[in-house]
Structure 1
Amino acid sequence: MSTTRIELDRPRCEGHGLCEEAAPDLMHLDDDGELVIDRPEIDEADLPTAQDAVRVCPVAALKLV
């Protein structure tokens, strides 16, 4: 069984926070506005939420691998 991970291209991230709104259980913006992936390993139940977070990123800084 393969594992899905959410990956962040940190230099590309501008801290808009749309991904955090879409997936607050998976990621958050810290006090400096930097995105933190709390749960990089995505289980099947969280996959739709992770896909939403990737989709709403306006600078394509997130991807699922």
Structure 2
Amino acid sequence: MKVTVDQDRCVASGQCVTAAMAVFDQRDEDGVVVLLDPNPSAELAEDVRNAAALCPVMAIMVEE
């Protein structure tokens, strides 16, 4: 699995962090998504897919 984020699209809703804390974080100054792990383990795959689905602006892309 490969994960990418579009920080320009991010609206800082934080849904990704709630869904997958091990993979996503937010910048302190503006809340924009920070990708912690672009190649998460298989055990995190479901959480990452959920985070992508919850993103209100579809700023998270997942390649299987």
TM-score by length of 1: 0.87
Match of 2:6 in 1: 9
Sequence identity percentage = 26
CA radius of gyration, larger in: 1
Matched, 1:26 2:23: yes
User: What does the per-residue CA deviation read over 1:18-55, in whole Å, with 9 as the maximum and x for residues that have no partner?
Assistant: 11111111111121212111111122111001001101
The secondary structure found in structure 2 opposite 1:21 is: helix
Aligned residues: 62
Q: For structure 1, list consecutive stretches of 5 or more residues without a partner in the other structure.
A: none
- The ranges of structure 1 where at least 4 consecutive aligned residues each deviate by more than 3 angstroms after the TM superposition are none
- Name the structure 1 match of 2:57: 59
TM-score (norm 2): 0.88
Structure 2: runs of 5 or more not aligned: none
